C-alpha cells in the first residue's frame, strides 16, 4: 500500500483525484444554487483558488519548472483576490441599499432576532 501511495504522489495522480472531488463539489454547488442555495460566485472563486494551488502542488510533484509552479500560484492569488472582493462587496452593497439608513442598521426590537419564536 505504501508503494502505491508513493507512486500516486510521485506521478501527481493523488492531486488528480482531489481535483475530481473539487469538480464534483463545484457541480453540487451549482445545483444547490439553482435550487435557492448560497450565492455562487464567491464559492466558485474559492474553489478556483484551491484548485489552482492544487495544480501548483501537482506541478511541483512532477518536477515542472518553477515558472509553471509560480504561474499556478499566481492564478490561485487572482482567484483568492476575486473571492475576497466578492465577499466584501456583498455586505457593503447591503449597507448602501436604498431604504436603510445608518440609524436603522444593527439589531433592534423589531428585527427577527427579537421577534422570531423558537420552538424546541
Max CA separation in the chain (angstroms): 65
Task: List CB contacts of 74: < 8 A, sequence separation 6 or more.
Answer: none
CA-to-CA dists, residue 66 to 50, 52, 70, 104, 110, angstroms: 19, 15, 6, 53, 58
3-state class (DSSP) for residue 107: coil
103 pLDDT exceeds 70? no
Task: List CB contacts of 26: < 8 A, sequence separation 6 or more.
Answer: 44, 47
- The band of 12, judged by pLDDT with boundaries at 50, 70 and 90, is confident
Residues 54-72: tens digit of each pLDDT? 999 999 999 999 999 999 9
Amino acid at each position: 500500500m505504501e508503494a502505491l501511495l508513493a507512486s500516486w504522489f510521485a506521478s501527481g495522480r493523488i492531486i488528480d483525484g482531489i481535483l475530481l472531488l473539487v469538480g464534483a463539489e463545484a457541480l453540487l454547488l451549482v445545483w444547490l444554487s439553482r435550487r435557492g442555495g448560497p450565492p455562487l460566485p464567491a464559492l466558485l472563486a474559492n474553489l478556483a483558488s484551491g484548485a489552482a494551488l492544487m495544480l501548483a502542488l501537482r506541478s511541483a510533484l512532477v518536477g515542472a519548472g518553477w515558472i509553471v509552479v509560480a504561474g499556478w500560484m499566481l492564478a490561485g492569488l487572482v482567484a483568492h483576490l476575486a473571492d475576497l472582493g466578492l465577499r466584501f462587496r456583498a455586505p457593503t452593497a447591503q449597507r448602501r441599499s436604498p431604504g436603510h439608513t445608518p440609524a436603522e442598521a444593527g439589531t433592534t426590537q423589531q428585527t427577527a432576532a427579537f421577534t422570531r419564536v423558537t420552538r424546541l
